[in-house]
Amino acid sequence: MPWQSRLPAAIDGLVTAFKGWPRIGGADVTVRDGPSTSQSTVMEVVTVGWTGGEDAMGADSTLVNAGLGDADREQLTIRCVVAVLRGSDDISGARKRAYELLTEAGAAIAADRKLGGAVMRAWISSHSLDPAQTPQGAQAAITFEVSCDAYSGA
């Protein structure tokens, strides 16, 4: 097999994991694969591989020659966002719900750390909170990174 990055398969694996998780995809939470062209306001969303910034990187990969034949060790970082919008100024409620969804995202990953066979191991490696009061109400957005170890096809 020629060299092939595992990044696209890992992103697909995360989207599938989140959509299939009962307390995310089955709970009226919108799961998006990258940026959306929809103009509709979504109250609760998990976005994979895109953080909403103009200059922000959605994902990156570092390759290391592992000395194990032709395969290279690939270390992936996939950036995701959990965002909750309230119709009021209840920032505490928005923050609490955003962290509930982050916890569920972590549980979905822990249930299948291989992301359907795309990687050897995946985990949430960091997160940061960005609260805001918007014209639509309080919003809590948590940007989180999913780190993965994989071997590129070779």
Q: Domain for residue 14, yes or no? A: yes
Is 147 a member of any domain?
Answer: no
Question: What's the domain count of the chain?
Answer: 1
User: What radius of gyration, in Å, describes the C-alpha atoms of the chain?
Assistant: 16
Strand stretches in 55-154, DSSP E: 59-68, 71-85, 121-134, 137-151
Domain that holds residue 129: 7-35+42-141
pLDDT exceeds 80 at position 1: no
Please report the pLDDT score of residue 77 as a whole number.
98
For 152, the token pair is: 């590129």
User: By the 8 A CB rule, do 66 and 53 touch?
Assistant: no
H helices of the chain, where? 7-20, 91-111
Q: Which two tokens stand for residue 74?
A: 């690939």
Q: What mean pLDDT comes out for the span 115-123?
A: 97
Task: Assess if residue 97 is contained within a domain.
Answer: yes
Q: Flag whether 77 is in a domain.
A: yes
From 119, 88, 103, select the one nearest 6 (Cα to Cα).
119
Answer yes or no: are the C-beta atoms of 46 and 105 closer than 8 Å: yes
40-81: per-residue pLDDT in tens?
Answer: 888 999 999 998 877 788 999 998 886 766 678 899 999 999
pLDDT at position 153: 66
